Amino acid sequence: MNEALDLTLREQAAAIAAGDADPAELLDAALARIESRNPAVNAVVETFPERSREMLAAAPDGPLRGVPVVIKDEWPLPWRAQRFGAAELMAPTAPGESGPYRALRDAGAVIVGVGNMHELGAGSTGNVSVYGPARNPWDTDRCPGGSSSGPAAAVAARLVAGAVGADGLGSVRFPAAYCGLTGLKPTFGRAAMEGHHMAAITSLIVSGPLCADAADCRLLGSVLFGEQLAAGDAAGLRIGVVHDPVSEDVTPEVREACDDAVEALRAETGGEVREIALPDLPAATLAAILLINAESLGGVTPERLNRIHPEISPIARATLKYRMLLPTAATVQSGRVRTLMRRRLADLFEGVDVIAWPTIPAPAPPLESPLVELPSGTLTADQANVRGAALANLTGIPSISVPVGLSAERLPIALQLQAAWGRDELLLDAAEAVERANERQWVESKPPLAEAEPTEA
């Protein structure tokens, strides 16, 4: 049954539906593989075999019946409150049925474990967590990306074939990119969100799938969306590319791989590439940060910050306190920038179908020192990464990260595609076109850890 674990999500579902795979054996194999491989990556922070077996016993005949999946520590489960990768949350939490849990359960999926995440969702690297850092299966001394670090590392290490993350400022796309996966940040409001501790107030966070390829993201995304994400062909795709100081501030090998992927996508779809201008991207990035800052601090008082848990990391503790000082005028201005960028994008999407740029400006940095060397100099990975991701969260548009190469150090490189509101399906179509164009070379590349001969029973 170990071989079945190496199938794609859709192949696992099909094998179970056809009677070619026993879901109970598949669950046992997943648990065994977590036991054998997880110590190297710290992707899964908790398993609950009896709960998983109960889910399997009650699993309806849905599109993921019997398929093991991992869910990020951002979502409550009926038997477990989320910890958000932290010693404590600023908001109260309790066990419960989150939207993603219900969607997975109703699809017949079996939640086999909880995925690690960057502390409080506040990082693009995954190197800080109350559980200890998750590690990148491509190089376990490297960051797996964050904040959905565990879900990505779990899929890349082939502990499971699909995982559910959350994306407030790139938190699905960064780990997908660092780990060589496909990750979809849905249009705001399309994917299940109930039960998230910020569900009532967030205007940026969405749930999203992390899988090996776009077809698996389509399947898991359909479950999270509660509707079938129909497949098309992206024929005649009009691809917008931006050449500005931020978009150009990437390593040469990222630039080359992404340029090649854009050209391959154009050729595969018979489309065209158009240069577009998107001014004020730095303002849009800061606006998104300030808005999620304001939303996440709702209900947090100075007195509450004065009795913050001693195991919260020094960086998170200080940043939380600093965030209380940011001027309200800047948050109000952020709302205006949101309007500005939404209108600009609406105009741009009259002339192009997707906007393409690198998901991450440099491959995964070391866990011990998450810095990246860019043409502009040395930046923290968080500083550099958020510049390419926040626009989608600020404006609500969907975005997808697609693997398009490996660096000289054999670390994944990824292209990000963004489309107009509600065109999530087009992004999946375009991602599949990228896969076809490179003969699925990158989505079928596996890290050494996942290539290792399994020793579990």
Partner 1 sequence: MDVSPQADDFVPAGLASLGIEADETDLAVMSVVHQLFWPPTLKLLALDTSDLELERSPDLSRAP
The residues binding partner 1 (CB under 8 A) are 187-190, 203, 280, 282-283, 286-287, 290, 302-303, 305-306, 314-315, 317-319, 321-322, 324-327, 329-330, 333-340, 342-343, 345-346, 349, 383, 395-396, 420-422
| Residues 6+ away with beta carbon under 8 Å from 82 | 73, 74, 75, 76, 89, 93, 197
Shortest distance, position 98 Cβ to partner 1, whole Å:
20
Shortest distance, position 86 Cβ to partner 1, whole Å:
16
**Rg, Å, the chain Cα set:** 20
Shortest distance, position 309 Cβ to partner 1, whole Å:
14
Which C-beta is closer to partner 1: that of 21 or that of 428? 428
In angstroms, the Cα distances linking 440 to 195, 201, 214, 258, 432 are: 36, 39, 11, 15, 9
Which C-beta is closer to partner 1: that of 113 or that of 396? 396
Helix (H) or strand (E) holding 374: strand 371-374
Shortest distance, position 421 Cβ to partner 1, whole Å:
5
Shortest distance, position 354 Cβ to partner 1, whole Å:
15
Which C-beta is closer to partner 1: that of 228 or that of 339? 339
Shortest distance, position 302 Cβ to partner 1, whole Å:
5
Shortest distance, position 393 Cβ to partner 1, whole Å:
9
Q: Let me know: does 376 contact 361? Beta carbons within 8 Å.
A: no
Which C-beta is closer to partner 1: that of 68 or that of 398? 398
Which C-beta is closer to partner 1: that of 58 or that of 315? 315
Assign 3-class secondary structure to 64-123: CCCCEEEEECCCCECCECCCCCCCCCCCCCCCCCCHHHHHHHHCCCEEEEEECCCHHHCC
Which C-beta is closer to partner 1: that of 72 or that of 190? 190
Tokens encoding 247: 């978009």
Amino acid found at 450: A
Maximum alpha-carbon separation in the chain: 60
Helix (H) or strand (E) holding 185: strand 182-185
Which C-beta is closer to partner 1: that of 267 or that of 315? 315
Residues in a beta bridge with 34: none
Which C-beta is closer to partner 1: that of 39 or that of 327? 327
Q: Let me know: does 156 contact 42? Beta carbons within 8 Å.
A: no
> Cβ-count burial of 81 within 10 angstroms (0-12 exposed, 13-18 middle, 19+ buried)?
middle
Shortest distance, position 211 Cβ to partner 1, whole Å:
23
